[in-house]
Amino acid sequence: MTFNPRASLACAALAAAALVAPGTPAYAQANEQFFPVLVYRTGPYAPNGVPFANGYVDYLKLVNARDGGINGIKISFEECETGYATDRGVECYERLKGKGPTGATAFHPLSTGITFAVTDKSFNDRIPIITAGYGRADSVDGTVFGWNFPLGGTYWDAADILIQHIGKKEGGVDKLKGKKIALVYHDSPYGKEPIALLQERAKMHGYELQLLPVTHPGVEQKATWLQIRQNRPDYVFLWGWGVMNSTAIKEAIATGYPREKMYGVWWSGAEPDVTPAGEAAKGYNALVFLAPAGQGPVHKDIVRFVYDKGQGAGKKEEIGDVLYNRGLTAAMMTVEAVKRAQFRYGKKPLTGEQVRWGLENLAIDDSAIKKLGFTGLMTPVSTSCVDHAGGRSASIHTWDGKKWVLQKDTYTADQAIIKPMIRTSAEKYAQEKKLTKRDCAKESQ
């Protein structure tokens, strides 16, 4: 009577769970490069998450169908739904990081919250975290953030460019003195990132910065826009995502705030943001970096090799939308990094650490862009061990009621202001985390 069979049952169950739970995926463990794909196709951010994911996946399919993989190494990939929630994002990261013959190539978390959480893990797992145009602004510093790649620019660059643009409109940044700028932002790390830079610039130019947080998911903004109606700021910067963007534009229309004086960050300037308001959103501006809306030769290939075979991830009409193109560009840069790393490590499936070398030696110049079929769709990117962004220029585009129209000026963020901020912030992070900094001079041979 002292023996308890349920105990042994529990033991067996535990053992079984341990065996089953890691999963036995259906792909072959052959000569493949595994791409994890974190997506959100459900929830309040799905309108923006879906086109990005479609673009990303379509490009991977294109490389397999058109080129037979990356130099003969087929790409395998698996999607995991995060719902833009940090905890589920981390779970997805853990689920996918070890798959494929050499583990995950690189992650695109597509959420600043998830980026912060997995940045911590990247040091142990040695897998690059690519945050093209989002994530931590200070992660440009590759000596501290060895695994983060904010390719193309950060929110500090974005905010800096917006100030430069309105300064130019006013006839010089010194004319901004006494002006009122309101920042309507998503109350999360994402929305808070630009504040530090805007405050720094406010000190220099003497404009008044008004901070208006909007709580997740951002469908309730009546109070925010009431404040805007009372204060009448000269400009409104919008740092939203998902339904928050379209709600903000609709509220602006309801309160009669001129759309011409509204500027969105590059995540607040896609078709799903303005189409709900339709014609009335006319005049609204947003930043655009790397990939604006439009079609290039690469899109023709995608139609030919992917969509015509019934393999497309989304609708054919949505090819060439802003966020679709951004997903496409993100995938392209990752594939290029793998290609670059293959030069050094050989044409075989590569580990995350090897791909990092590729990401640190990325050189996508105008001729490479043309060759890849991305002409007019992106600005050159060139990275190094110290500089993990590789580019920091952007333009403005304006919604004319039917489509996005690109303005001709291109701006580059002022590094004289941003660099010292990055250094202080990265130092602080290294100190808090007790990290030893990398020595790029030693690694670069």
C-beta neighbour count of 438 within 10 angstroms: 16
Q: Does 217 bind another protein (CB under 8 A)?
A: no
Which two three-digit tokens encode residue 350?
């590569």
Which two three-digit tokens encode residue 345?
């490590």
- Our CB check for another protein shows the closer of 123 and 343 to be 123
Q: Does 310 bind another protein (CB under 8 A)?
A: no
Tell me which amino acid residue 51 is.
P
The one among 102, 164, 188, 221 contacting another protein by CB under 8 A: 188
The answer to whether the CB of 284 falls within 8 A of the CB of 274 is yes
The one among 6, 203, 408, 442 contacting another protein by CB under 8 A: 6
The one among 65, 80, 254, 440 contacting another protein by CB under 8 A: 80
From the CB of 93, what's the least distance to another protein, in Å?
A: 9
Scan residues 91-110 and list those touching another protein (CB under 8 A). Answer: 91, 94-95, 98
Q: Does 420 bind another protein (CB under 8 A)?
A: no
Instruction: Specify the DSSP class assigned to residue 21.
Output: T
- Our CB check for another protein shows the closer of 120 and 400 to be 120
Q: Does 14 bind another protein (CB under 8 A)?
A: yes
Instruction: Please compute Rg for the chain using Cα positions.
Output: 23
> Measured in whole angstroms, how far is the alpha carbon of residue 68 from the centre of its chain?
27
**CA neighbor of 411 nearest in space, from 260, 287, 279, 270:** 287
Query: 7 φ, ψ to 5°?
Result: -65, -45
Scan residues 196-215 and list those touching another protein (CB under 8 A). Answer: 196, 213
The answer to whether the CB of 239 falls within 8 A of the CB of 184 is yes
- 272-282 residues labelled b (16+ CB within 10 A) or e (exposed): bbbeebeebbe
Q: Does 83 bind another protein (CB under 8 A)?
A: yes
The one among 33, 105, 247, 425 contacting another protein by CB under 8 A: 425
- Using CB under 8 A as the criterion, which residues of the chain lie in contact with another protein when the complex forms? 1-2, 4-7, 10-11, 14-15, 17-18, 20-26, 39, 41-42, 46, 50, 79-81, 83, 86-87, 90-91, 94-95, 98, 112-113, 116-117, 119-121, 124, 136-138, 187-190, 192-193, 195-196, 213, 216, 425, 429, 432-434
